[in-house]
Structure 1
Amino acid sequence: MALRGRGGAVTFLVAGTGGTASGSGTIRYRDGTRGTYTLTAPDWRSGPAATRAVTLPHVNTPDGQLAEKARLYAVTVPAERGRAVASVTLPRDPGPEADLHVFAAAVRETDTGWTGSWSRAVGGYAKAGPWADRTLRLVVHTSAGGRGLRIRLSNTFADTPVRIGGATVAVQREGAEPSGEPARLTFGGRSGTSIPAGAQAWSDPLRFPVPAATNLLVSFHLPETVTAVPVHTKAIQRSYLSDQDSGDRTGDTSGAAFTGSLTTYPFLTGVDVRGGPGSVVVLGDSITDGNHSEEGGNRRWPDVLARRFLEQDDVPRHGVLNQGISANRIVTDRYPGEGVDRDTAGVSAQHRLERDALAQTSARTVVVFEGINDVRWDTPPEQVIDGLRAIGERVRARGLRAVAATLTPCEGYPDCTAEVEARRTAVNTYLRERGTRENGGPFDALLDFDEALRDPGRPTRMLPAYDSGDGLHPGHEGLRALADSIDLRKLVERGR
């Protein structure tokens, strides 16, 4: 099939029937070269909910319609980065028991002329409101600046579409008050859009000077009743909500209409800026999410890292995208992957890697700093190591720089026993001795966060000056110490 584009990957919308189906195909490039790929499609009825792209409401069979949901999957395979694709040859039918179905395919662009400046990962699909005819005004803090802007709204994990009546962006003056008249965003030339269940929508590019390290107000109107939302729970930032049935207040030049407040991020998952060198994506848990940091203070360690990029000229000033989810794990899903659920700790890092890291705008480097929750909750270190290795290999297969961080001490936290310490030590030993490419591992570089935070006189615990008080989460000085311990050159791909 003909396929046009220049990027580092090709994504297929697929499903298997009769079981998981797999086959090999060919990518042909416009310069006459070719490469092979392997495509694996989970079964559309029994495959995992955590990695589904689309859920269908029923299954048709020769004997009639079944009231059973079916799943389609977006599966991405590596392509030669930057090489123009001409066509793909689809895999042959693997048969006789399982069949592989391909519904669509597209080249995933690598260099799009945008840099990711802010992002948050969806941790689950949770009850809300009900909200009816209300406007949300969300506060986000940029990392990189640029000469233009677009936003990403996501309906991840949802089982119903959501209607966006209108949207604007402005620089924040104070609270819900913008510094000037909000700029109107459009979607395909229209003021609003409908986002299908499981999908996302980008606004059209907007000429809007975006300052670096600045709070923006992103407002969007929900004209219809909303009872559940895709959500990032730990915003550690106060945002705003207009009254019920108050209409479209996205253009308001004051904050008076926004009498309610939010400490979560529903729907909004990204803000990109025009130009720039690309982004460093941080895949993490509550330490990255900023637990115990000051609300609205932007003192998470990725925030400090972003400011370090801005304050130097030795390496390109990358955007920093914080994709931490509190309580997230490497191996085990917390959120089940579909349905309304109180647990919004996300699907596992392995299951969310594609959406939350590899597919982020102009991602150049992926930092993975997870695993402490796995070892605290009895996951054998061998499984954590296997998960980290798989993540590193997938990142590098996409032509991105893969960086790992050691697990930090947690003595003093109620469940951080001697057994947990032994598992933590085993994971860190692997990362130090066999995790990097020079030692036969998948990672291009290692950040030794354990060394940065531990008490030299008692290395099973954090240095007291860095501890928030619970033994597990660093306080502000500890978060700064993490960011300050990083040699920025480890995060930047050679030649960029």
Structure 2
Amino acid sequence: MVFRSGKHRSGRTRRGRAPRTYLLRGAAALTMLVVLVVVVNGTVSRDVGARSQTEPPPGGAPKAFSTFIDRAGISPDGAAASADLDGSGNSLSARTLAEAGWVPGGDVVLLGTPFRLPAYSRGRPDHLLADGQPVVLEDTRVHSVGFLVTGSRIGGGGDDVLGTGTIVYADGTEQDYTLSVPHWTEGPAGDAALTLPYANSSSAIENGPTGPVRLYARSVPVDPVREVDHVVLPQVAEESARMHVFSVGGRSAGEDWTGTWARATSGYMEVGPWEDQTLRLAVRSTTGGHRVRIRLDNTFADRPVRVGAASLGLRGEGAATLGSALPLAFGGSSETVIPAGGQVFSDPVEILLPPHTDVLISLHLPDRVTAAPVHYASVDTNFTSAPGTGDQTLDPTGEPFTGRVDQWPFLAGVEVLDGPGAVVALGDSITDGTRSTRDAHARWPDVLSTRLAAQPGVPNMGVLNMGVAGNHVVTDGYPGAGVSTYANGVAMTHRAQRDVFTREGVGTLVVFAGINDLRWGTDPRDVIAGLEAIADTADEHGVRVFVATLGPCGGEARCTAEVEQARQLVNAHLRGQADDPDSSFAGVWDFDAVLRDPQNPSRLLPDYDSGDHLHPGDAGLRALAESVDLHQLVGV
């Protein structure tokens, strides 16, 4: 049977269950050690009951975050003595923050959460050390609480800093959480919200002993139905460890948005250059709605980008719109600036968007852009006008769009209001559609979405394709910072928070990945650990997880006998999860059984082989989608 059902399948958090402990081996051990603590423990852990209404919070009366700020960790270049972040005279550079678009007192959106930046200036306090302070949020109904943080250690050492805090609801109940924050100089770039090129130092202005430094965003899921009274910041047990908090925010639960299209940022690459020209990007909806907004990301960037105008229109032929495109606004303005590492959401527009409808998103870039965050392997054709042709976002003819773009730059999502919820497909090039027919929407998530729309009795959920060609479960391909020719993404364990758990409306996750890790020598036990870490984090977020066995790749250059042995080990473990009552997976999909040649099980069935012996062609991708039991997928 293709679909195997696990015992644990509700998506409800298993309160009181201890996180798994994994023994890590091989080249991925150091990366996974960081990831498992961050991803598994950076979430809600348990409900600890109600506090007496007359009992005061342990840190005093709850107050706004800004009232607790009492330390200076940001200094002007040349004035390092005015701040000390790490206890050794080193501090964040005000100049590099401003160059990244993180201006004093400004706003930046990370993981879907708006953060108010400190109004930093010479000698002025700009952050606090987490120590149980009770903080009031501006928005009391949220999906998650976000923290803009970094870690340091007195006397050296680059380990993560761990602390435990509490979410206190207005009804008096409490919910504990554990936060794990990477070290500001030693933490992974692939997991960072922002990487800065240097820190100010008492001994040097630029390229001092600290080298590149990083800030991180962390998200803790909460119950969106209940109002949050306040958040007790973590207390750190280790005396030498410090958790620096620069801002706290909440991802609003005031409106129910659902993703209808999305792609993951796979790298930061040289482009164009583009200057005073318009990109026109083609997407296809998977679920429908009447109010629509877009999400733009500047992930991995080191500088802000200005979007002079944007529009959304139904697609006609080629780059032409069907009728008039609708201008988009951002906080009421026709233009927006996306800080480095940040996100922006457009204001919603009223438009009837049916499922499986082609849409054109146009972005005018008035300034010179030489590098951009991209989803590299689009398998769809996008368009650009010529340099210097100005704002063409409302052009209906498509005639100005004489150039072609083979990536999706900046555009990370399209969402509809009050949709039925979404499924995320997290994977590598097979999910991304490598070697599928161009512009044919033949990827297996595309076919799955078509089946959902045609099946009576099941909701037509959004299907969000988070496949990245060349991606690994536990090791970064793209290094996480800087312009690179590698656009195969950071590890799934690093990108899951951004690409899955803070996406709007996501209730189900499908993970089909691991073959690239094995082809490049990762120990299969590390792959298993990575898949289960993602599943445990999903469970904490109330997201059901299905996992797929790895398909065969015999005959492909890197698929040696050793890789085949490792693949069989991973698949045997995953199949065993189907009957494990304590499994993190809601079900196991045997994609290996769908794709393999019965006469030669280490190879793809010839009719499904695209020709490279690794990637299924259109017929194989369709077979994967058709093997899924839709009722079990959506839980009805």
Q: Please state which band the TM-score falls in when normalised by the shorter chain.
A: over 0.9
Q: Relative CO higher for 1 or 2, CA cutoff 8 Å, sep ≥ 6?
A: 2
Match of 1:17 among 152, 162, 165: 152
1:397-434: CA deviation from partner (whole Å, max 9, x where unpaired): 1111111111011112122111111111111111110x
Q: 1:120 — aligned with what?
A: 263
Query: Take 1:453 and 1:332, find their aligned partners in 2: how far apart are those partners?
Result: 26
The answer as to whether partners of 1:280 and 1:320 remain within 8 angstroms in 2 is yes
1:2 to 118, 125, 136: 136
1:112-146: CA deviation from partner (whole Å, max 9, x where unpaired): 32210101110000001111101000111111111
Match of 1:446 in 2: 588
Q: Is the 8 A contact 2:196 2:302 kept in 1?
A: no
Unpaired segments ≥5 residues, structure 2: 1-134
Q: 1:90 aligns with which of 220, 228, 233?
A: 233
Counterparts in 2 of 1:381-460, with a 5 A limit?
A: 381-433=524-576, 435-436=577-578, 438-460=580-602
Residues 9, 398 of structure 1: 8 Å contact kept: no
Q: 1:481 aligns with which of 608, 611, 623?
A: 623
Q: CA deviation at 1:102?
A: 1.4
2:401 aligned with 1:258: yes
Letter in 1 for 2:170: R
Once the two structures are superposed, the pairs formed by residues 78-477 of structure 1 within 5 Å of their partners are: 78-80=221-223, 82-109=225-252, 112-433=255-576, 435-436=577-578, 438-477=580-619
Relative to the length of structure 1, the TM-score reads: 0.96
Aligned equivalents of 1:437, 1:246: Cα separation in 2: 60
Deviation at 1:81, TM superposition (A): 5.2
Q: 1:350 to 1:187 in 2, by over 3 A?
A: same
CA distance in 2, matches of 1:437, 1:114: 35
Q: 1:9 offset after TM fit, Å? A: 2.8
What one-letter code is carried by the residue in structure 2 that aligns with 1:457? Q
Structure 1 residue aligned with 2:11:
none
SS at match of 1:478: helix
Partners in 2 of 1:250 and 1:394 — Cα distance?
40
- Distance in structure 1 (CA, Å) of the matches to 2:223 and 2:355: 32
Q: In structure 2, how many angstroms separate the alpha carbons of the residues matched to 1:437 and 1:224?
A: 56
CA 1:314/1:111 → structure 2, altered by over 3 Å: closer, same or farther?
Answer: farther
- TM-score (normalised: structure 2): 0.75
SS of the residue aligned with 2:271? strand
Q: 2:427 touches 2:467 (CA, 8 Å); kept in 1?
A: yes
Q: Distance in 1 between matches of 2:619 and 2:236?
A: 57
Structure 1 Cα separation of the partners of residues 410 and 378 of structure 2: 12
User: Aligned equivalents of 2:187 and 2:480: distance in 1?
Assistant: 11
Report the number of matched residues. Answer: 493
SS at match of 2:527: helix
Deviations 1:350-379 (A, max 9, x none): 000000111111111111110010111111
Equivalent residue, structure 2, for 1:50: 190
Superposed CA offset, 1:143-174 (max 9, x none): 11111110111100001100000001111111
State how far apart, in whole Å, the 2-side matches of 1:268 and 1:347 are. Answer: 18
Question: Which string of whole-angstrom CA distances, capped at 9 and with x for unpartnered residues, describes residues 166-211 of structure 1?
Answer: 0011111111111111110000000010000000111001101112
Give the letter aligned to residue 147 of structure 2: F
Which amino acid counterpart does residue 160 of structure 1 have in structure 2?
R
Deviation at 1:66, TM superposition (A): 4.5
2:166 is matched with which residue? 26
The SS at the match of 1:178 is coil
Q: Give the C-alpha shift of residue 437 in structure 1.
A: 7.3
Kindly provide the amino acid, as one letter, of the partner of residue 623 in structure 2. Answer: A
1: CA distance between counterparts of 2:466 and 2:255? 20
Q: Alpha carbons of 1:62 and 1:415: their partners in 2 closer, same or farther (altered >3 Å)?
A: closer
Mean Cα deviation higher: 72-81 or 297-306:
72-81
The answer on whether the counterparts of 1:156 and 1:230 sit within 8 Å (CA) in structure 2 is: yes
- Partners of 1:364 and 1:493 within 8 A in 2: no
Given residue 282 of structure 2, which amino acid in structure 1 is its aligned partner?
Answer: V
| Structure whose alpha-carbon radius of gyration is higher | 2
Q: Residues 438 and 316 of structure 1: is their aligned pair in 2 closer, same or farther, counting only changes over 3 Å?
A: farther
Asked if structure 2 preserves the Cα contact closer than 8 Å seen for 1:21 and 1:94, the reply is no
Q: Give the secondary structure class of the aligned counterpart of 2:482.
A: coil
Q: Which segment drifts farther, 55-64 or 140-149?
A: 55-64
Contact kept, 8 Å, 2:261 with 2:286, in 1: the verdict is yes
Q: 1:485 to 1:254 in 2, by over 3 A?
A: same
Counterpart residue number, 2:123:
none
Give 1:280's aligned amino acid: V
Give the deviation of 1:64 after TM superposition: 6.2
In 2, Cα distance between equivalents of 1:65 and 1:93? 31
Does the CA-based 8 Å contact 1:8-1:399 persist in structure 2? no
> Do the aligned partners of 1:401 and 1:491 also contact (CA within 8 Å) in 2?
no
Per the TM alignment, residue 111 of structure 1 is displaced from its structure 2 partner at its CA by: 7.5
Deviation per CA, 1:254-276, whole angstroms, max 9, x where unpaired? 11111111111111110111222
Question: Given residue 10 of structure 1, which amino acid in structure 2 is its aligned partner?
Answer: V
Shift of 1:77: 2.2
1:95 shift after superposition: 4.6
- State percent identity of aligned pairs: 48
Pick closer, same or farther for the CA change 1:356–1:11 going to 2, 3 Å: same
Partners of 1:463 and 1:7 lie apart in 2 by 48
Using the alignment, how far apart are the partners of 2:142 and 2:421 within structure 1? 14
Quick check: 2:194–2:302 contact (8 Å CA) kept in 1? no
Check whether the contact 1:437–1:443 (CA below 8 A) recurs between aligned residues.
Answer: no
Equivalent position SS for 1:391 = helix
Query: Helix, strand or coil for the counterpart of 2:624?
Result: helix
